[in-house]
A and B are shown apart, each in its own frame.
Chain A
Amino acid sequence: MTSYIIILVLYLVATMIAGIWAGRKGNATDGFFVGGRSLGPIVIATTWAATLISSATFLGTAGYGYTSGWAGLIWGAFIMVFGGIFAWLLLAKKMRFLSGKLGALTIPNLLLSRFQDKKMNGLIAALIFIFYAPMLASQFAGAGIVFETLFGVDYIWGIFLFGILVVIYTTAGGLVAVAYTDLVQAVVMVVAYVIAIPVVLTHVGGMSNLTATLGTIDSGLLSIHGAGGYYTWAMIFSWIVYYLFGTAGQPYMLIRFFAIKDKKALKLALPIAMGVILICYFGTGLMGLSARAMIPDLTAPDYAMPQIAIKFLNPVLGGLLLSAVFAAMMSTVDSLLHVVGTTVAKDLIQQNLRPNMSNQGLLKVSRYATVACGVCGLLLAIRPPQSILTLITYAWTCLAASLFMPIVAGMYWKRFNRTGAYCSILTGSIVGAVVIGVFGGIAIGVHPMLIALPSAVLAGVIGTLITKPQPQGELEAFFPAVMEKVDFD
C-alpha cells in the first residue's frame, strides 16, 4: 500500500506545482475568469476532456460495465462522446467570438447581453449555484469515500485533504490554473490507461476470451440491453438525449470556449479531446468488464476499477491508475468550483450589489466566493447523500433542461425572446426537480431528462411565439451579419 500512497502523493504534488505555476498567469481578471482567452489547442483539449471525465466516469462507468456488461459501457457513458462533439459543433465558435466581442466573463454574463435582463441573469446564476453546489459536494464525498475505502484514511480527513488542495489552486489561479492542472490530470489518465489496458487484457486472456467469459457468466452481459435488461430501447433513447443535449447546457463545460486562443486552437482541440475521452472511457469500461470476469463476487461494483488496480497490477501501475481516479475527480471539482465562484462574484454580487466594482475588486471577490463555495461544498459533503452518482445525474439533468434553450436557441434563433427564456428556465428546473422527486431515476420507463428537456423546449417555443419579439436594437450586437469574416482578437 505504501507504493500506492507514494505515487498518489507524487501526483498530488505535481498537480499542486502545475496549479501554482499556472496561477501566476491568473492574476488578472480575464485570466482568472476566462484564462486570458489565450489557451492553445492542447490545453483546451485536455481541460475539456478532463472536465467531462469525472468520478462518475471513473467509478460509475466501471460499475455500469461490471453490472450490465457491454451495454453499460456503451449506453451508460460512452455516448457522452457525442455530447461533446455536439456542443463543440454548435457552440464553440459562436461562444468564443461573442464572448470576446462583448467582453463576457461568465455564461450568465453572455446571456445578459442576449436577453438584456438583469433579473434573468440573477436567476441563472442562482440556478448554477443551487445545482452545482450538490454536484461539488458529491465529488468531494466521492474523494472521501475513495480515500477511506482504498487507503483507510478517515472520510472527513479525506474530503478536507482533497478539498483544500483543489480550493487552493483554483482560488490562486482561476481558469488558468484549472486548465493547466487539467492538462496534468489528463496526461496521468491517458498514460495510466495506455499502459493498463494491454496489461489487463493479458490477464483476462485477450478481448475474445474476456467476451466469451462474460457470456458464460451471464449472456445478458453481451446483450444490447445489458444484464438485467435495464437498457430498454426507451432508456437507451433517454441516455442518448441525456448526454447528447446535456453537455450544451452545462456552464462548467462551456466556459472553456471563452478561453480558446485562436482559430488553430478552435480547430485542433476537438480531435485531441475526443482521443483522450475515447481512451479513458474505453479503459474504464474495460476495467469494469474485466473485473466482472476476474472478480465476479464484488459487492460494490463502483470500485471495480480500483480493485483491478490493487489486485492485478504492479504497485507503480496500480498507483498510477488510482491517481487517475483522483485526477478525474479533481479536474471536475476545480471546474465546478471555478464556475460557481466566478458566477456568484460576477452575476450575483457585482451585477446586483456592487455594479461599480473595479476589476481588481471583482478579482478579489471572485477569490473569496471561490473559497466560500469550496467551504459550502465541503460542509455539504460531511453528510453525503446516499447515492452520489445519482445526485450528480439529477443536478446535471435539471440544469441542462433549464439552460439548453437560453443557450442554444439564444445563439441561433433571433425570434427567441425573454419570455421564452423565462418559460424554458422555469419549466426545465421545476419539471426536472418534480419528476425526479416523484419518480426518482426512472419516470414512466424513461430517464427524467426525456421529460424535463422537451417540456422546457416546448415552453420556450410557446412563450416566444405568443409574445412580442425582442427589439431589433437589442439584438444587433449578438447577431452580427459578418461573424464568419471576423477573426479572433
Chain B
Amino acid sequence: MKVELRGITKRFPGVVACNGVDLSVESGEVHALLGENGAGKSTLMNILFGLYTADEGEVLLDDSPQVCHSPSDAIGAGVGMVHQHFMLVPVFTVAENVMLGIEPTGALGTIDRDEARRRVVELSDRYGLAVDPDATVEDLPVGVQQRVEILKALYRDARCLILDEPTAVLTPPEIDELMEIVRQLADGGRSVIFITHKLREVARIADRITVLRTGEVVGTTTPGESDEQALATMMVGHEVQLLVDKTAPDPGAAVLAVHDLVVDDERGHRVVDRVSLDVRAGEIVAVAGVQGNGQSELVEALCGLRPVQAGSVRLDGADVTGRSPRQMYDAGLAHVPEDRQRDGLIGSFPVASNLVLNQMRSRPFSRRGRIDRRAVRRHAAQLVEDFDVRTPSIDTAASTLSGGNQQKVIIAREFVHAERLLVLSQPTRGLDVGSIQYIHRRIVAKRDEGVAVLLNSSELDEVLALADRIAVVYRGRLVGVVDRADASRELIGLLMAGAVDEAAAVEATGDEEVTVT
C-alpha cells in the first residue's frame, strides 16, 4: 500500500512535535524513519495509526485521503503497528492473541477456533514466521512474541506495517531473522515503516530513509547515498564522532571480586547462577547480554538492592556480601541505575535535591540532621556546571528535564562519589547521540582515573565501544569473558544467544584466548 503524509503538523502544549512533515512510502518498500528520541517519529506514526489527530496536514492511503480517529479506523484502512511494548495477553495462545477482537464466529456466535488457527498457520507459513499457533505467549521468547504481533497485523490484513523500534529487545540472531521477515513482507507488496535510531540497521534493511530532527524532515535518502556517518550528522545536526577515543587500559588490582554469586528473582527463579567475575581498577568490564538474562539482577545484588542466595561479593578485599545499599555506598560504590526515572531520580524534587539524594545525610549538606541548604545549592550549581546539565535552574523539577539531562543529573551525582567502583546500568538508553558521546567520554575518563567500572548494557555497540573486557551472560550464567581485542561482533552475538559451541568455533579460527565455560 502506498502511504503518503502531507504537511503533518502536531502541536502539544509548549512543543511542536511534528512541523509540516512530508513522508511517502511506496508499496513494497521498507522505509526507515530515523531520528533521535523526541525527533517526532513516534508522534508521526501515532497520527498515521489514529492515536493522535494531526493539527494540520493530511494522510493519503493509496492516493485517497483518509482520516483515522482511532486505531480501529487505521486497522480497517489497512495500517498495522507493532509497538515497542507488545500488546499481547500472556496467558493466551498465539492463535487466541491473533484473533482477539475479531474472532471468527460460527453458528450461535461461538468462536471458530479452528478457522482462526488455520489462518494463523497459513500466514505464518507464507511469511516464514515459524510460530506455533497453540503455544502460550508467555512461554515464547521475545523475538517470537514480536512475530506474533506481526502476525496480528497481517491477520487484520495490514498492507502497511509500522514497526516501532523493533530491534530494541532482540538478540543479534533474532535481528537477522526479523530483517528477513521484513524483506519478505515488502516483497509481497506491503509497505513497511521501520522506526529506529540505530544507524547500522538502517543501512541493512531500508530502501529509503527519512531522517527527522526536532519535528521536521531533514531529508530523505538511501543507504547507497548516505553512509552511517552522514546519517548521524543528519540526525544530530552537526558532525559527530561515532567512536570513543580511548587508550589501552592499565588495570590494577581487583576492586570488585564476585565469586559464585547466586541470585533469585521475586518468584524464586534462579536468575543469576554461580557467576564469578573480577573488575580491576582502571578497566571497564561490560556485562553483555540480551535483556532479561540476569544482568539487571546481578547488578542489583552487587548494589545491595537484592538478596544474595549464595556466593560472595568483595570490594577492595573486604567481604560486602548482603550489605545494604547505604553500606555499599559508604564502602565506595557508585551506581547509575537502569531505569533512571523509576530508580534514579525523584521527578517531583528539584534538580538540587536530586544531586544530593544519597548524600543529604552527610556533611557538608547537613549537620545534626539539619539540612544546610546553602551547601546543597552550591554543590548543585557546581555539578550543573561541571556536567553540563541543561536546566532552567537548580530548582527545576527533575521530571521536566529531557532524558539526556536527567541522566546527566544522575551521572553527576554518582560520578562525584565514584572513587573505587562505578556500576553503570544502561547508562545511555534512550538518549540522543550528543548525550551518549558525552557520557561515554566521562566513563572513559573515570576509568583513566583508576576507577573500576562495571558496565551493564544491552547495546552491543556501546559494549564494543567502551569495554576492555566483555562478560557475556545467558540465562543467568556467565558464558564467556572475552578481551575487547578478541571480541568480534559475531562472537559476542553468538555468546549472547547462548550458542557457546559455535562461539568456540569462531574463537578457534581467531586463535586467541577466550574463556568459554
A and B pair up? no
Q: Which residues of A contact B (CB under 8 A)?
A: none
